[in-house]
């Protein structure tokens, strides 16, 4: 759900003292600029995620399928893993 959350790890320290480490996590709304139909590649998409190596995966509900965009006109923001297109879309995206 959209909102700002606080993730907290709480541990019991010496002398029965509770110690907590808190980190805010903003789960903000992102405007949709373009949508792409991937049904010819993966017929049922239930989720997408990046792995620790920065690869994009699509979850079908039973299998994970690796997707690698092929597009020369883009910038990948390594902090947010967002892809920003810098040129017009063409059929060579996937």
pLDDT reported for residue 93: 47
Spatial separation of the C-alpha atoms in residues 47 and 56, rounded to whole Å? 11
Q: Per-domain residue ranges for the chain?
A: 3-85
- What is the full per-residue pLDDT of the chain (94 aa) written as tens digits? 788 898 899 888 778 888 888 988 888 877 777 777 777 778 788 888 877 777 788 888 888 888 876 656 666 777 777 777 666 555 554 4
Please list, residue by residue across 23-55, b when 16 or more beta carbons sit within 10 angstroms of its beta carbon and e when fewer do.
eeeeeeeeeeeeeeeeeeeeeeeeeeeeeeeee
**pTM more than 0.85:** no
């Amino acid at each position: 759900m959209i909102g700002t959350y606080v993730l907290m790890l709480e541990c019991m320290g010496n002398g029965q003292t509770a110690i907590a480490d808190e980190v805010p996590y903003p789960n903000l709304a992102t405007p949709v600029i373009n949508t792409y139909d991937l049904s010819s590649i993966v017929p049922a998409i239930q989720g997408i995620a990046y792995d620790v190596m920065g690869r994009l995966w699509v979850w079908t509900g039973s299998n994970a399928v690796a997707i690698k965009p092929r597009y020369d006109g883009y910038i990948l923001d390594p902090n947010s893993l967002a892809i920003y297109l810098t040129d017009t879309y063409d059929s060579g995206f996937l």
